[in-house]
Amino acid sequence: MIFILQKIASKIDQFNRSFGHMIAYLTLGIVLIQFIVVLLRYIFGVGSIFLQESILYQHATLFMLGAAYTLLVDGHVRLDIFYRDIDLRLKSVINIMGVIFFLIPTCVVIGLYSFPYVQQSWRVFESSKETSGLPIVYLLKTVILIFSILLVLQGLSLLITSFLNLWDRPKKSPNIGIN
């Protein structure tokens, strides 16, 4: 049973690590498109709502879909002044409580409340209110649901890992802080 749980946590971590690395390339897109926007505006006097919205979409996608990877590598903000110096057992208890009482319920609420919102957007293939904007608002809104799913999955991995830490009492944290 323990092996199966470890395997599940490992697969979730592997998926979110790969996905996080893939999503990280959006930063390059943001920088390049922002450079083009500045060049067009200040050198050629041309503005592009399409390009500006694409920066916004990439930025939103990067942060929403990168959240699970950030949880995987323990990069989320917390009270590190206390957390970093406590033993693994207490960290595991804190992680279990955080996942059960905060992370999963929050993601479930976000998923449930955003589903009709996303569904309606897909129903009409919602596009930008700007005439020259991106016609894919429905895809951007879908990122909210994917965010919830990825974060719940990574929360389950953290939960499994934390329970196994309490069970086995390993000498170091298995997946915390690993890139």
How confident is the model over 88-109, as pLDDT tens digits?
899 899 999 999 999 999 999 9
The CA–CA distances, whole Å, from 163 to 9, 40, 84, 86, 89 equal: 11, 54, 19, 17, 9
- pTM of the predicted model, to two decimals? 0.86
> For residue 38, what is the enclosing H or E element?
helix 26-44
Q: How far apart are CA 36 and CA 21, in angstroms?
A: 24
Residue ranges of the chain with per-residue pLDDT less than 50: 170, 177-179
Instruction: State which amino acid sits at residue 154.
Output: Q
3 state DSSP class of 71: helix
**Residue ranges per structural domain of the chain:** 2-168
Those residues with Cβ within 8 angstroms of residue 42's Cβ, 6 or more apart along the chain or in another chain: none
End-to-end CA distance of the chain: 27
Average pLDDT, the chain: 91
**Residue 107 CB: number of other CB atoms within 10 A?**
22
pLDDT of residue 179: 43
* 3-state SS, one letter per residue, for 40-66: HHHHHCCCCHHHHHHHHHHHHHHHHHC
DSSP 125: T
pLDDT of residue 173: 52
Ramachandran angles phi, psi of 170, nearest 5°: -70, 165
pLDDT of residue 79: 63
pLDDT of residue 121: 97
| Best CA proximity match to 26, nearest among 76, 74, 65, 75 | 65
3 state DSSP class of 174: coil
**Residue 44 CB: number of other CB atoms within 10 A?**
8
pLDDT of residue 83: 75
Quick one: the chain helix, strand, coil %, rounded to 5? 75, 0, 25
pLDDT of residue 172: 52
